[in-house]
Amino acid sequence: MPWREMDIVSKRLEFVLLALQPGANVRELCRREQISPKTAYKWIGRYQAGGHQSASLEDQSRRPLHCDQRTPAAVEAQVIDLRRRHPSWGGRKIARRLQDLGGEQLAPSTVTSILHRHGLISAQASEQAAPVQRFEHARPNDMWQMDFKGTFNTVAGACYPLTVLDDHSRFNLALAANAETGVARVQPQLQAVFERYGMPARINADNGPPWGAPTGLGHNLTKLAIWLIRLGIVLSHSRPRRPQTNGKIERFHRTLDTEVIATRLWADHAQVQRHFDRWRSVYNLQRPHEALQMQTPVQRYRPSSLRFPTTLPPITYGSADTVVQVTEHGVARLGRCKVVLSQALKGLPVAFRPRHDQDGIFDVYFCHQQVARLDLRSLPVDT
């Protein structure tokens, strides 16, 4: 199933910003976007010649607005316009966005004063604005966070937004308005993301389906989780009842809810998706992010060099491993002892790997991922 397309200018802008990143492989980006290098360099040239304005990527050029002498009233009008179009943006975001657009360079405090003067910011919002300590991975694609935003209703039925976020850059890789959460729906959408942006080293998801639910030491693997592991991706899960371990995507969901979902009543999933696509472009390409020192996510993101393979790689294990096939009931046996894994592993090989620091204990691996542990000293033996 193809990924839903962004509007053409947003798609061109995302491509150009990624292509202009230091060390970017333009030809690889062209391959993923299925465009010619000639077309790519035309867009890049027009963007640079047009003063790095998105209007330069329109099919018909537009003369950019410019005024040599700006009056205070005109500056305030720009601030008020940005605030009304983006009600959750504060002084820092608006000041940075004005600067990115080539407008007046205002101090964030000046913008905040304008918002207060026009009654566009409340005292409660000011009190809630406080710096927080953040952790992030060192490079783009070291880890992606993946989850479903909380369900909301449309006239046509419940909507389950699928979201994928790069941990380092906060770049939103996927935002899909789904009517269901099954593997048949989610896997093609993730494949389209991998084909466009490459693959991450690791994905962190919550504990529910379709990615799996941790039980005991190992994981109750689903078909989707097995597919991700076979691609070479390390799959990790948030701690049960601890949503803060996937904190960046939880924060992203709050912003999505405030700026899009809660703003109207929805007719159907197609209408939701149209608004998602427009907002995603603003979030990735325009909206300054305070956790990124007021950069936009696209300024911090780089597509992954890990290509999505045309076929799944073979499953291989080390010479010291004991390799067995999982039964139709999801069981793997080592001699007369067994460990229950997942029925989704039916017919696939897993490896029992002895721990050198503890006699009688084996770690059970599927591909690179540990999925269980077997303790021969305490496990009941079948007779």
Residue ranges in 260-370 assigned as alpha helix (H): 269-285, 297-300
Q: Which two tokens stand for residue 169?
A: 């850059």
Distances (CA, A) of 277 to 11, 172, 260: 10, 11, 11
Q: Does domain 144-300 have CATH number 3.40.1050.10?
A: no
302 sits in the region (left: phi over 0; alpha: psi -120 to 50; else beta) called beta
* Tally of CB atoms within 10 A around 54: 19
- In eight-state DSSP terms, residue 289 is B
**How does pLDDT run along the chain (383 residues), one tens digit per residue?**
444 445 788 888 999 999 999 989 999 999 998 899 999 999 899 898 888 888 888 875 444 455 444 435 777 788 778 787 777 777 777 888 887 887 777 777 777 777 777 666 654 454 445 444 455 677 999 999 999 998 999 999 999 999 999 999 999 999 999 999 999 999 999 999 999 999 999 999 887 778 775 554 445 689 999 999 999 999 988 765 555 556 788 889 999 999 999 999 999 999 999 999 999 999 999 888 777 677 889 899 999 999 999 999 999 999 989 999 999 988 999 988 888 888 889 999 999 999 887 888 899 999 999 988 888 877 555 53
Q: Which two tokens stand for residue 380?
A: 């009941």
* Tally of CB atoms within 10 A around 157: 10
Q: Full-prediction pTM beyond 0.95?
A: no
Q: Give 85's contacts (C-beta < 8 A, 6+ positions apart).
A: none
> What are the domain boundaries of the chain?
8-57, 72-128, 144-300, 322-375
What confidence score (pLDDT) does residue 221 get?
A: 84
User: Which of 135, 208, 199, 136 lies closest to 164, judged by CA?
Assistant: 199
User: Which of 326, 368, 363 lies closest to 236, judged by CA?
Assistant: 368
Gap between the Cα atoms of 73 and 83, Å rounded: 15
Gap between the Cα atoms of 144 and 138, Å rounded: 12
Single-letter code of the amino acid located at 361: I
